[in-house]
């Protein structure tokens, strides 16, 4: 029986190993992919490693990750070890109480701890940044060190320190020369756990950091919102570092054992892995910090705080602007207009924002924006007329367009009948021929726009009966069509043809069509949303002059081309738009790149607080209905 079970055990072991390591191997392979797809390998290239090394944002994130981890590990190890030794000498009641207090942060969900740190810093008006992230990491690492050290202390003879002092040792010597050598394995284990937890942390860092300070986890989260293979390159670098450390940890003691006496090995081999790991990490910190500088002249030493959507800038625009001006750009990203609004409304200071049309209207109405200085804006003449002087900002007094586009239907030409699209428009999302083969976009505005347009209504309607009808249309869709409600994952999923059709932004459809020739983009004749994201300067901006300079730079051909060619969204610069969509351009023949401008049914979103609240509430109910249908 035992022999018969061995093959099964080996197979299970192999499957477990494959489950853990095949995704890592997959990631490493695709880090060398020439294309942008995360699922289709198009050829070997070091393109994404080059981009990673040239990206100051990623290099600073790596520097922040390892510098915070090293400092937090050192401090938490010292504090945790001393605390554990002190607790061992305390009364039992106090020791038991403190051990429970020590266990609480580890048992708490990380989100609770993260929000607690955020509220603490806000309450005491501490500006969030590198220091607050470091303090948070030290705080959550200390319990792990105490937990690792305490069992070793319990295993010691309780009289060992007294015996050392009876033989003439001072209390300090008793601790450093008698107790600590005995508990060194526990200290090292705690230090390694603290280092690992710090490097790996995302949630606490996300809530405790600010001012543009990001660790690698935060950068990867931002990149994952859109297709960016630099994720693979950065992650592969991390795997390489960890692998080197593991090799050092395992090989160095073996090599040392051949040259040293048994006594020396026992005394020193426990220190070698930690020293090797710290040396490797410290070397990386020095390397990354050395490469994080920027140079220039007109705005030498000044800082621009730029708050925009994740993955919404080109490969080179930030670095090129810094090189030309000498300024440093602190780039922060948001996931939604509402997230951005909360920070601005709470008084956080930025020099440039890139909100959407309706949000710009709201910010103007509530006094959160300052008017642009016409004498300092030189790029408006470069922009296409269709995206200027829109209803949310007549005369472009407050905003300069950045990207623009439409919302339409991305579809698989091999699965979807063009006659169905032309006949049904957005109502194709109710056609049971495509049941279980559609994506809805997890956006209340865009989903209700689709439903309202399908019913022949304005997407800016204030008629509650029409909004209720749109809600019922969406309820029918989720209950009968079995849709998958997604956000940015629709991009790569549709590029791989995983479903027949979905609601998508034109810029994302541009990428999908460039990756898969079987994909198409359709705008129903009943109308859609013509959206615009634009650069604005908040009323509390600390450096509006530098903000004007960046706006001009982003409007000029080189900056606009870099943005649009990399991101895939339509440039507001007319020449760039024509070049990229014209013969030999990156998006030649891709209709999604050129927004439609000749349909009177197309609209621009307007801000209305009453309908916004109602639509937000109804969309939550739609998603609940969708989950119940599943």
pLDDT in tens, 386-438: 999 999 999 999 999 999 999 999 999 999 999 999 999 999 999 999 999 99
Name the more confident of 298 and 200.
200
- Both structure tokens of 251: 């090989």
Q: Sorting pLDDT into bands at 50, 70 and 90, what band is 259?
A: low
* Residue 466 reports pLDDT greater than 80: yes
CA distance 153 to 173: 17
First to last CA, the chain: 44
User: In the predicted model, what is the mean pLDDT of residues 255-284?
Assistant: 54
* Residue 625 reports pLDDT greater than 90: yes
Q: Sorting pLDDT into bands at 50, 70 and 90, what band is 227?
A: low
- Both structure tokens of 248: 């050092």
* Residue 263 reports pLDDT greater than 50: no
**Pairing, β 570-571 against β 484-486:** unpaired
Q: Sorting pLDDT into bands at 50, 70 and 90, what band is 296?
A: very low
pLDDT value, residue 525: 96
User: In the predicted model, what is the mean pLDDT of residues 291-315?
Assistant: 78
Q: Sorting pLDDT into bands at 50, 70 and 90, what band is 230?
A: confident
The phi-psi region of residue 7 (left if phi > 0; otherwise alpha if psi is between -120 and 50; otherwise beta) is alpha
The pLDDT tens digits for 32-74 are 988 777 667 888 888 888 878 877 778 888 899 999 999 999 9
User: In the predicted model, what is the mean pLDDT of residues 611-626?
Assistant: 94
CB count, 10 Å around CB of 603?
Answer: 19
The dihedrals phi and psi of 573, each to the nearest 5 degrees, come to -75, 120
The pLDDT tens digits for 562-618 are 999 989 999 999 999 999 999 999 999 999 999 999 999 999 999 998 899 999 999
CB count, 10 Å around CB of 200?
Answer: 14
pLDDT value, residue 34: 84
Q: How is 257-293 classified by DSSP, letter by letter?
A: HTTS-HHHHHHHTTHHHHHHHHHHHHHHHHHHHHT--
Name the more confident of 511 and 246.
511
Candidates 330, 221, 306; CA nearest to 538 is 306
| C-alpha pair distances (Å), 241 with each of 69, 247, 276, 278, 553 | 14, 10, 11, 11, 38
Number of residues written out for the chain: 630
3-state helix, strand, coil in the chain (%, to 5): 60, 10, 30
* Residue 148 reports pLDDT greater than 80: yes
For the question of whether the overall pTM of this predicted structure is more than 0.75, the answer is yes
Name the more confident of 287 and 77.
77
pLDDT value, residue 576: 97
pLDDT value, residue 395: 93
Q: Sorting pLDDT into bands at 50, 70 and 90, what band is 517?
A: very high
* Residue 179 reports pLDDT greater than 60: yes
* Residue 348 reports pLDDT greater than 90: no
pLDDT value, residue 279: 53
* Residue 5 reports pLDDT greater than 60: no
Domain ranges (residues) in the chain: 2-47, 51-290, 303-403+535-581, 405-531+589-629
Provide the mean pLDDT of the chain.
Answer: 88
Q: 323 in helix, strand or coil? A: helix
Is 51-290 in CATH node 1.10.3720.10?
yes
- In sequence order, the 6+-apart residues with CB closer than 8 A to the CB of 100 are none
Topology (CATH) of 405-531+589-629: D-Maltodextrin-Binding Protein; domain 2 (3.40.190)
- Both structure tokens of 446: 């865009």
DSSP state of 538: B
pLDDT value, residue 8: 83
Q: Sorting pLDDT into bands at 50, 70 and 90, what band is 283?
A: low
Please give the sequence-ordered ranges of beta strands (E in DSSP) within 167-261, or none if there are none: none
Looking up tokens 């509530």 gives 366
Q: Sorting pLDDT into bands at 50, 70 and 90, what band is 278?
A: low
Q: Sorting pLDDT into bands at 50, 70 and 90, what band is 311?
A: confident
CB count, 10 Å around CB of 371?
Answer: 13
pLDDT value, residue 268: 47
Name the more confident of 33 and 546.
546
pLDDT value, residue 147: 92
pLDDT value, residue 270: 47
Contacts 24+ apart (CB under 8 A), 616-622: 616/444, 618/444, 618/448, 618/467, 618/468, 618/471, 618/474, 619/444, 619/447, 619/448, 619/474, 621/471, 621/475, 622/447, 622/471, 622/474, 622/475, 622/478
The phi-psi region of residue 339 (left if phi > 0; otherwise alpha if psi is between -120 and 50; otherwise beta) is alpha
Topology (CATH) of 303-403+535-581: D-Maltodextrin-Binding Protein; domain 2 (3.40.190)
Judge if 51-290 and 405-531+589-629 fold alike in CATH terms: no
User: In the predicted model, what is the mean pLDDT of residues 252-258?
Assistant: 68
* Residue 503 reports pLDDT greater than 70: yes
């Amino acid at each position: 029986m035992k022999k018969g079970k061995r093959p099964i055990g080996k197979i299970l072991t192999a499957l477990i190993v494959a489950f853990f390591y095949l995704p890592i191997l997959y990631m490493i392979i695709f880090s060398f992919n020439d294309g942008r797809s995360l699922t289709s390998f198009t050829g070997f290239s070091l393109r994404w490693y080059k981009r990673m090394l040239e990206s100051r944002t990623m290099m600073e994130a790596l520097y922040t990750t390892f510098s915070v981890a090293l400092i937090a590990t050192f401090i938490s190890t010292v504090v945790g070890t001393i605390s554990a030794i002190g607790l061992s000498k305390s009364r039992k009641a106090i020791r038991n109480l403190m051990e429970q207090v020590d266990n609480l942060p580890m048992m708490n969900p990380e989100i609770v701890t993260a929000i607690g740190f955020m509220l603490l810093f806000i309450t005491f008006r501490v500006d969030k940044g590198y220091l607050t992230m470091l303090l948070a990491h030290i705080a959550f690492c200390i319990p792990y060190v105490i937990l690792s050290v305490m069992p070793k202390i319990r295993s010691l003879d309780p009289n060992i320190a007294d015996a050392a002092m009876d033989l003439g040792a001072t209390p300090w010597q008793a601790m450093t020369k008698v107790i600590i050598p005995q508990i060194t394995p526990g200290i090292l284990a705690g230090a390694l756990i603290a280092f690992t937890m710090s490097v790996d942390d995302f949630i606490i860092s996300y809530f405790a950091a600010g001012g543009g300070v990001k660790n690698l986890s935060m950068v990867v989260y931002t990149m994952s919102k859109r297709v960016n293979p630099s994720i693979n390159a950065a992650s592969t670098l991390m795997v390489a570092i960890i692998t080197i450390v593991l090799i050092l940890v395992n090989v160095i003691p073996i090599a040392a054992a051949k040259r040293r006496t048994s006594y020396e090995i026992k005394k020193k081999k426990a220190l070698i892995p930690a020293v090797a790991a710290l040396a490797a990490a410290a070397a990386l910190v020095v390397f990354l910090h050395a490469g994080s500088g920027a140079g220039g002249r007109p705005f030498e030493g000044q800082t621009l705080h730029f708050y925009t959507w994740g993955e919404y800038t080109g490969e080179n625009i930030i670095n090129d602007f810094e090189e030309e001006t000498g300024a440093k750009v602190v780039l922060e990203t948001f996931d939604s207009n509402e997230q951005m609004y909360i920070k601005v409304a709470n008084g956080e200071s930025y020099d440039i924002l890139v909100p959407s049309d309706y949000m710009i209207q709201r910010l103007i109405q509530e006094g959160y924006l300052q008017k642009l200085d016409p004498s300092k804006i030189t790029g408006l003449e470069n922009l296409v007329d269709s995206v200027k002087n829109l209803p949310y900002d007549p005369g472009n007094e407050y905003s300069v367009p950045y990207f623009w586009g439409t919302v339409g239907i991305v579809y698989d030409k091999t699965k979807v009948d063009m006659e169905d699209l032309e006949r049904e428009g957005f109502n194709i999302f109710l056609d049971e021929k495509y049941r279980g083969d559609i994506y809805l976009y997890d956006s209340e505005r865009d989903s209700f726009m689709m439903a309202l347009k399908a019913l022949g209504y304005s997407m800016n309607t204030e008629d509650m009966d029409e909004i209720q009808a749109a809600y019922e249309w969406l309820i029918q869709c989720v209950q009968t069509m079995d849709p998958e409600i997604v956000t940015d994952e629709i991009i790569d999923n549709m590029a791989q043809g995983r479903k027949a059709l979905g609601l998508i932004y034109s810029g994302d459809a541009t990428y999908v069509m460039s990756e898969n020739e079987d994909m198409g983009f359709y705008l129903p004749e009943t109308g859609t949303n013509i959206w615009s994201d634009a650069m604005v300067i908040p009323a509390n901006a600390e450096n509006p002059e530098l903000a004007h300079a960046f706006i001009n730079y982003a409007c000029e051909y080189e900056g606009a081309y870099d943005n649009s060619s990399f991101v895939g969204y339509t440039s507001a610069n007319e020449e760039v738009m024509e070049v990229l969509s014209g013969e030999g351009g990156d998006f030649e023949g891709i209709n999604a790149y050129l927004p439609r401008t000749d349909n009177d049914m197309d609209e621009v979103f307007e801000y209305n607080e009453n309908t916004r609240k109602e639509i937000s509430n109804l969309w939550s109910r739609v998603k609940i209905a969708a989950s119940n249908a599943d």
